[in-house]
Amino acid sequence: MKGEYKGLELSTQLLIAEAIRRGIEVRVLDWEDNFIQLKKDSKIEYIKQATRTSVDTYIAPLIMENKEVTKIVLRE
């Protein structure tokens, strides 16, 4: 990881470090909003600010309110 995610919030950086340690693919979707995508096999998880996930039913509106993230999700 070594500083490549330095612009993100500390909690997001810690989450990314743990995901990488576990062999999970990490993609930053929006640096300002700390929006990331974690992917392992066929499972994809969208996370905002390290605390808002699909376990939280509010993730869909969070994706939709972010135009850039919405474009990325719809392309996939």
Token representation of residue 74: 């719809």
Query: Which residues on adjacent β-strands are paired with residue 40?
Result: 43
Question: Would residue 51 count as lying in a domain?
Answer: yes
**Is residue 5 included in any domain, yes or no?**
no
15 within a domain of the structure (yes/no): yes
pLDDT digits (tens, 9 = 90+) for 11-70: 999 999 999 999 999 999 999 999 999 999 999 999 999 999 988 888 999 999 999 999
4 in a structural domain: no
Q: What is the pLDDT of residue 51?
A: 92
For the chain, the domain total comes to 1
Torsion of CA 72, 58, 15, 5, to 10 degrees: 40
- Residue 9 has what DSSP assignment? -
Place 2 in a pLDDT band, splitting at 50, 70 and 90: low
- Find the helix or strand (DSSP H, E) in which 75 lies: helix 67-75
3-state class (DSSP) for residue 37: strand
Q: Is residue 29, in this structure, part of any structural domain at all?
A: yes
| Dihedral sign, Cα of residue 12, residue 14, residue 17, residue 22 | negative
Domain that holds residue 39: 10-75
